[in-house]
Amino acid sequence: MTLRYLSVCSGIEAATVAWHPLGWQPVAFSEIEPFPSAVLAHHYPSVPNWGDMSKFQEWPDESIDLLVGGTPCQSFSVAGLRKGLEDPRGNLMLTYLAIAQRYRPRWLVWENVPGVLSSGGGRDFGTFLGALGELGYGWAYRVLDAQWFGVAQRRRRVFVVGHLGDWQRAAAVLFERESVQRNPAPSREARQGAAGSVGGGVASGGTGVAPHIFKVRGGVEREDGSRGSTNIGKQAGKGYLGSEERAFTLAAAQDQFVAQPVYGTDCYNGAITGDVAATLGTPGSSVNASGPTVMQPVATAMQVRRLTPVECERLQGFPDNYTNIPWRKKPEAPDGPRYKALGNSMAVPCMAWIGKRIAEVDRGD
């Protein structure tokens, strides 16, 4: 079934790159930054960019099946939700909810950094989930790490999936069936190696308060249909993800080849930060201070070099040179705006996995 979706805080559209193979159709984008907007216009000239999402009341009426976006997490109270939805300017999380209220898509996908779980002592995220319930959406959330989906970086993000009136469908997207049935399969002993933490929960619409936080056993589906094993710990409210394999290290063209293993580095002082390439950052983070870098072992010395924009595109799962568009009367874009746009983007493989799961649930698989 073809889904029609509206994307807000669109950036360079990881969702559309991920969901194009599914045959889904973007109704419109909502992006105000000049360079990402130019990338959207270059790749998707037939899809309108409705611009500032705070002006959603001026947008045309459309029938959409899914709303997707990642907004800043800002404080608001569920008690004041209905009044807040009348004029949500200045709080993009409320604006996202108001857009959902106006268009009433049956599916929602919302993404944010893991810090959202502790913002305001957890109250900010809790009120967002509660607001989804107030609007009639059942929801589930889970932390996914891009390194377990085939890219060479640690990038943990919180994903919330909502379904109008049905938390079980939302949970079926993010969790395996036995976990949703509250009968998780026994986990195997955790393996050594890099691990990304995973936590999640589900709730019905109405109250928006999770009756339980489920510990789940997950898995990552590979391109050949097989699944990578994962293990979830037994600590209440969260777990620890382990895997039998790591994503392959990127190999750039010719003289820019990066040898395995690749070490994440801090751009300020070159200090090693991890055994997987450093996550692409947003403006102000160390990985973008002088451009994302990697450290590679060469004989007995270490050499530090800057990641190329193409490597950053691969780290996020985009096609090579996806962001290399004509820009400001020049045939190619400079590195700076490409780094920034890629650092702000969602990881394509994670969005592809979520889209595939939504498609399966939507058709009743």
Q: Residue 16 belongs to a domain with what CATH number?
A: 3.40.50.150
Domain count, the chain: 2
pLDDT at 18: 98
**Same domain for 261 and 241:** no
**Same domain for 53 and 190:** yes
**Residue/partner pairs of 43-49 with CB below 8 Å, 24 or more apart:** 43/13, 43/322, 44/13, 44/16, 47/16, 49/10
Query: Which positions are annotated as active-site residues?
Result: 73
pLDDT at 175: 92
In angstroms, the CA 16 to CA 42 distance is 13
**Same domain for 149 and 42:** yes
**Same domain for 275 and 206:** no
Q: Residue 127: CA atoms inside 13 Å, Cβ hemisphere, count? A: 19
Greatest extent of the chain over all pairs of C-alpha atoms, in Å: 64
Strand partners, 110: 69, 160
Tokens in use for 325? 């568009």
Tokens in use for 176? 């395996």
Strand partners, 140: 161, 202
Contact 144, 151 (CB under 8 A): no
**Same domain for 357 and 303:** no
Tokens in use for 364? 């009743």
Using alpha carbons, list the distances in angstroms from residue 113 to 22, 157, 183, 199: 26, 5, 29, 13
Residue-by-residue pLDDT tens, the chain, 365 positions: 789 999 999 999 999 999 999 999 999 999 999 999 999 999 999 999 999 999 999 999 999 999 999 988 777 788 778 777 777 877 899 999 999 999 999 999 999 999 989 888 888 899 999 999 999 999 999 999 999 998 989 999 999 999 999 999 999 999 977 655 555 444 444 333 333 334 677 654 433 333 222 222 233 333 444 444 333 222 233 322 223 333 333 443 433 333 333 344 333 333 434 434 444 554 444 343 344 655 444 444 576 788 999 999 999 999 999 999 999 999 999 999 999 999 999 999 999 999 999 999 998 85
pLDDT at 25: 97
Q: Which amino acid is at 26?
A: P
pLDDT at 218: 34
Is residue 148 classed exposed, middle or buried when 0-12, 13-18 and 19+ CB atoms within 10 A define those classes? buried
pLDDT at 89: 74
**Same domain for 332 and 216:** no
**Same domain for 319 and 215:** no
pLDDT at 272: 39
- Asked if omega into 261 is within 30° of 0 (cis), the reply is yes
The position carrying tokens 């339980």 is 212
**Same domain for 229 and 300:** no
**Same domain for 309 and 167:** no
Among 161, 53, 141, which Cα is nearest to 99's?
53
**Same domain for 115 and 50:** yes
**Same domain for 80 and 160:** yes
In angstroms, the CA 74 to CA 79 distance is 15
Contact 11, 341 (CB under 8 A): yes
Strand partners, 158: 112, 143
User: By residue range, what is the domain housing residue 39?
Assistant: 4-245+347-362
**Same domain for 98 and 65:** yes
In angstroms, the CA 174 to CA 218 distance is 9
Contact 44, 26 (CB under 8 A): yes
